[in-house]
Amino acid sequence: EMSEMSERSKQNVAHGLAWSYYVGYLKIVLPRVKKSMEEFSRANPNLLVCKKTWKLHILVPLSCDVYDELEKADSNIQYVTDLTETTLARAGTKKRVYKHSLYAIRDEENQLWHCAVEYATPLQSLYAMSQDECAAFSREERLEQAKLFYRTLEEILQGSKECADAYRLIAYEEPEEAESHFLSREMVWHLRQEHHEELSVLEGSHPQSPCTAPDSAELSLQISVSDLPQPLRTDGF
């Protein structure tokens, strides 16, 4: 009975997507990210000078609006190259390839910041479900599921020793009025935070706790303590 109630209210969708994303992808690739970044840095010492950025930056747009090409989302984001591939036998597929792309992000001062970045692909499924009559997802339900996906994924990764310090989740809600360089500003803010964290460690002081980026919507993401996955609260969001 509880399972049926949960299915009717769609409470398990984002929870399941987050776990599938972690077990089927992130747990495989994240432990290898730093090695790939280190190999690239040796060949290109001027591009990845800050080791705190040697991680996979995962974009989580709460609108679930995912672009296949980041350049189309923001012209200040440009593809540079692919990092070293990881090839594994997976679920019957021989030599399945996993790889990440390196991008250059231009800031307001025309400075370039380099990092590996990609969208959280399960958000494409949430968006597709909201467009499919069979799933019957409303726009409001999609937003709730996106917030639940983010919060669940964050908790999973925080408890994962294999993935520690190999990722950075970048959750954001796009402004109502279109801004052509909103995404690049959001990413640069996070990259600057990582640079500050590295400088703080090198100087022997405590790293600053990242705060909400200026110009970004504050993410008040809360989750119920119930044993069953519950919709996130939206009050104050």
Over the stretch 81-135, which tens digit does the pLDDT of each residue have? 999 888 888 888 888 889 999 999 999 999 999 999 999 999 999 988 888 776 6
CATH class of 17-203: alpha beta
State how far the Cα of 157 lies from the Cα of 27, in Å rounded to an integer.
9
Q: Which residues have CB under 8 Å from 33's CB, separation 6+?
A: 54, 55, 56, 100, 116, 166, 167
Q: Cα dihedral sign for 198, 113, 147, 31?
A: negative
Which contiguous run of DSSP H or E holds residue 81? strand 77-82
- Domain boundaries, given as residue ranges, for the chain: 17-203
Q: Are 190 and 170 in contact (CB under 8 A)?
A: yes
Instruction: Quickly state the pLDDT bin for 205 (edges 50, 70, 90).
Output: low
Q: Is the pTM of this model over 0.85?
A: no
- For residue 174, is pLDDT > 60? yes
Read off the amino acid at residue 12: N
Question: To the nearest 10°, the Cα dihedral for 66, 147, 163, 25?
Answer: -50
- Picking from 78, 81, 83, 66, the residue whose alpha carbon sits closest to that of residue 106 is 78
- For residue 186, is pLDDT > 80? yes
Instruction: Quickly state the pLDDT bin for 227 (edges 50, 70, 90).
Output: very low
Pair type for strands 112-119 and 56-61 = parallel
